[in-house]
Every structure is written in structure tokens, then in C-alpha cells.
Amino acid sequence: MAESDRYEVVEGNVYFPPAALNQAYFQPSDTHTVCGWKGTASYYHVVVNGEVNRDAAWYYPDPKPAAANIKGYVAFWRGVQVTR
């Protein structure tokens, strides 16, 4: 669902550039959370073989200056395995 030699690691999470995503696996979510130093995160549901993993990917569309390096980059959790 995402593959790239270019990525950023922040707080132990691997963030992939938007171009690395296969959009067929992602559905926009209405969920948003706020991090004190990164800003407001938006989420995607990850869909594989018809099964929806709700809010399993997140990104910062307009991060605070301290997190500018991950603007638009996508990270995963909730059972999504990331290998390097």
C-alpha cells in the first residue's frame, strides 16, 4: 500500500511521502487529532480485501513549523506492518 526509499521517522513512526501511496487502499476519514508540536492530524481508513481498518493511517496536511518535514507524509498504526 506504500513503498519508498524516501521516508521520515518521527517519534518512532515511519512517514511515507504521498507519492508512495497506492490510493486504492485509502479512504478519507472524518477523524482529526491534535499534537502539541506537530499540529492537527487527519486520518485515512485502510481497506484491504474489503476489510476496513478504521483510522489506520494519519498525516499532517498543514503541520506546525517544527514538523514541516512530514507535511502530507503518511504514517500507519493499528496493526499495519511497516518494514524498512
pLDDT the model gives residue 3: 86
Whole-number average pLDDT of the chain: 95
Q: For the purposes of burial, counting CB atoms within 10 Å of the CB of 46, is it exposed (0-12), middle (13-18) or buried (19 or more)?
A: buried
> Does 8-76 carry CATH code 3.40.50.150?
no
Domain ranges of the chain: 8-76
Paired with 58 in beta bridges are 43, 75
Kindly tell me if the per-residue pLDDT of 40 is higher than 90.
yes
Kindly tell me if the per-residue pLDDT of 84 is higher than 80.
no
**62 and 40 Cβ atoms separated by less than 8 Å:** yes
The pTM for the full model equals: 0.91
